[in-house]
């Protein structure tokens, strides 16, 4: 089986490179640019010399390029890790966000439908947020995004569902890793260099270690291809984040504790103290009952995974 990964130089794409070492399947990693020297160095540190670092160039907004590569490489599965993820920037770059988050997934879905393949698409908790609630979001809950980013990601989901292809949409949240820019790496720096830091406590969710999500994706592909009738059940949208619940303040406190940054006075604050172009979801905890019961996938607790990631960054 040939599995094509888009957005391979992002956080999740790089973790997919690492987990692919333990797979018997053939993986192809694509992006619009090559992996940076820093990324390659981290891949080697975490995965050794056998981790794949080469990147095949592919623009997923070009449907003919997608079709050509799918046919040339006999692709059976696409894992779409590519997206426009700048939540604030999307408010002023609506067309680009729509192109990358809605049209590009439609292209991938159409290409997979033509060859009878499977599309695994990564979506977000930002498809929720407008309606007030305080219980974990389920897969069948209506999307109510608060900004352009969430709206374009919801459009991407809708385009995939309307395409007629075989698909699994995985909604995740608060993604972090050893790669690129993310909340954990930012807070590692800030708690080491600032005497005081204010972090919002009125936005609640669950962090997700990208490596854990990559492992889950690998298992989903294996189990769906082994038991294809699963796709005929109300299964094709799944939630995945780590277990547990926290605020951004709690998250920061744990980051500082695990790297022994004791000199920074971290204080909770309200989100309106840091005005943003987009109102973030106040409560976006994801209910993971379906992925655990349907596929038997275990989900690590968020603090356990955070320790692993921080250790990897510093080791």
Tokens of 98: 């729509």
**For residue 277, how many C-alpha atoms fall within 13 Å in the half-sphere facing its CB?**
11
CB 61 within 8 A of CB 103: yes
Q: What are the φ and ψ backbone dihedral angles of 200, each rounded to 5 degrees? A: -65, 140
Catalytic residue, chosen from 27, 84, 126, 149, is 149
Per the structure block, which two tokens stand in for 286? 């994801």
Active site residue 149: yes
Q: Where are the alpha helices (DSSP H) in the chain?
A: 11-19, 37-47, 63-72, 94-98, 104-115, 148-163, 183-193, 210-226, 248-258, 289-295, 302-314
Residues 6+ apart with CB under 8 A from 65: 58, 59
Query: For the chain, what is the radius of gyration of the CA atoms?
Result: 19
Cβ proximity of 188 and 313 under 8 Å = yes
User: Annotated catalytic sites, by residue?
Assistant: 149
């Amino acid at each position: 089986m040939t599995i094509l990964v888009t957005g391979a130089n992002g956080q999740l794409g790089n973790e997919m490179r690492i987990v692919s070492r333990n797979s018997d399947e053939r993986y192809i990693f694509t992006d619009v640019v090559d992996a940076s020297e820093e990324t390659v160095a981290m891949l080697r540190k975490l995965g050794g010399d056998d981790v794949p670092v080469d990147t095949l160039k592919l623009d997923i907004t070009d449907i003919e390029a997608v079709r050509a590569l799918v046919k040339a490489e006999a692709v059976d599965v696409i894992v779409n890790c590519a997206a426009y993820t700048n939540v604030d920037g999307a408010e002023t770059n609506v067309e680009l966000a729509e192109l990358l988050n809605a049209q590009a997934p439609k292209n991938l879905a159409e290409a997979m439908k033509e060859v009878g393949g499977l599309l695994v698409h990564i979506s977000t908790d930002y498809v929720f947020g407008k309606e007030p609630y305080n219980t974990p979001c389920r897969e069948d809950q209506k999307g109510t995004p608060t900004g352009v980013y969430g709206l374009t990601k919801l459009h991407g989901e809708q385009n995939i569902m309307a395409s007629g292809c075989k698909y699994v949409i995985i909604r995740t949240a608060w993604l972090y890793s050893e790669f690129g820019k993310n909340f954990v790496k930012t807070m590692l720096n800030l708690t080491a260099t600032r005497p005081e830091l204010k972090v919002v406590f009125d936005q609640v969710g669950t962090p997700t270690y990208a490596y854990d999500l990559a492992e889950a994706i690998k298992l989903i592909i294996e189990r769906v291809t082994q038991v294809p009738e699963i796709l005929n059940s109300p299964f094709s949208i799944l939630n995945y984040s780590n277990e547990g619940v926290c605020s951004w303040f709690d998250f920061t406190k744990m980051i500082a504790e695990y790297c022994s940054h004791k000199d920074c006075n971290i204080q909770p604050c309200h989100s309106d103290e840091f005005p943003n172009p987009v109102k973030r979801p106040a409560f976006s905890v994801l209910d993971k009952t379906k992925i655990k019961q349907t596929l038997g996938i275990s989900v690590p607790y968020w603090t356990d995974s955070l320790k692993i990631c921080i250790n990897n960054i510093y080791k």
